[in-house]
Amino acid sequence: MEHKHKKVCVILHLFYVDLWSYFLPYLKRIDTDIDLYVTITDGHSGHFTDIHDAIIGEFPEAFIYSLPNRGMDVAPFLYVMNDIFLRRRTYDVMIKLHSKKSLAHSHELGERWRNQLTDAVLGSLPKLQNGYYACVGSNNTMVGSSAWVQNQNVLGYEQQFFKEEITFSDYEFVAGTIFMANFNLIMDWFVQNSVYDRFYGSFEEGYIGDGSIAHQLERVLGCLVKLRGNYILKA
């Protein structure tokens, strides 16, 4: 299969398909040719054909997947990462988005959480460009909202996701898993630790709170940044 490289890929989990119109202006702000990967939830996201046509109407070459309602936004992310690996596509940076509503919390919190996370990486062209160059050209290998970069103590579960020994006691992560990151940082870890093969089949159905593999991986991505000697840029 032909190897293809672009500067940016966007991986969007669209559990709530009504939020496609929310993300579209942000996606159109990206000033370079992108590969767009969209995951939709089987039987949970409205009529597949309608949202498929809406996405293809704007991004004719988008990759669209209908996946089981497992692992929230994290399991679909791993599914797409594996597909990107199999397609032998590479990028400079990835932007991970999802239609976060946080219905387990208040509506106001859910809206603010999604807005702040998304705005940090795609709120303006300068933010997008600054994030891109931070990810590819400095020790800032991940960019996330300053309002949602949180501290996490090492609890022990992190080690199963890494071959290297974790020697620090805490790290930061982007709560809400909407971020921009250096592509190779994530993909190299993903492949070297066989993340898809080892963990994809273990995700639980529906929404599972703290303690699930999905929530562990949300934090582990931040742990990865520190393990590589880098840090998260708070945008």
Report the distance separating Cα 87 and Cα 226, nearest Å: 29
Q: What is the DSSP string of 59-112?
A: -TT-EEEEE-SBSTTHHHHHHHHHHHHHHTEEEEEEEEEE----TTS-HHHHHH
* Tokens matching residue 140: 């800032």
Q: Which pLDDT belongs to residue 63?
A: 97
Q: Which pLDDT belongs to residue 107?
A: 59
Instruction: Tell which wins on pLDDT, 210 or 49.
Output: 49
Interior/surface letters 93-132, b for 16+ CB within 10 angstroms, e for the rest: bbbbbbbbbeeeeeeeebeebbebbbbbbbbeeebbebbb
Q: Which pLDDT belongs to residue 50?
A: 86
Whole-model pTM? 0.93
90 has which bridge partners? 5
Residue-averaged pLDDT of the chain: 91
Q: What is the pLDDT of residues 88-110, one digit of tens each?
A: 999 999 999 998 775 555 556 77
Instruction: Tell which wins on pLDDT, 108 or 40.
Output: 40
Q: What is the pLDDT of residues 181-224, one digit of tens each?
A: 999 999 999 999 999 999 999 987 766 666 688 899 999 999 99
pLDDT, average across residues 148-176:
97
Q: Which pLDDT belongs to residue 109?
A: 74
Report the distance separating Cα 121 and Cα 150, nearest Å: 17
pLDDT, average across residues 129-138:
93
Res 145 pLDDT > 60: yes
